[in-house]
Amino acid sequence: MTKGSNSTVILIVVILIVPSVLFYSYFMGQLLWGIIAAGMIILIAGMLLFFRLSQIL
């Protein structure tokens, strides 16, 4: 994989996982935990993207 495609894969995974976590947690009555989990996923993805961008430069 190229460096650009890795970033694209990370973004696509985040775009698919975060709404599904929030949707599931909303209907299970655990919205706060869903928001926390979604925030953790976004932070991890941001760190991975930053790590990939720092390797490019």
> Does the structure show a pLDDT above 70 at 40?
yes
Domain that holds residue 50: 3-56
pTM value is 0.68
Q: Residues 46, 22: contact at Cβ < 8 Å? A: no
Q: Is residue 37 over pLDDT 80? A: yes
Q: What's the token pair of residue 9?
A: 């894969």
Percent pLDDT > 70 in the chain is 82
**pLDDT above 80: residue 55:** no
Interval 11-27: pLDDT, tens: 888 888 888 888 888 88
**CA pseudo-torsion sign 45, 47, 50, 32:** positive
Other CB atoms within 10 Å distance of the CB of residue 21:
19
Number of folded domains in the chain? Answer: 1
Yes or no: say if 54 and 7 are a contact pair by the CB < 8 Å rule. no
Mean of pLDDT over the chain: 81
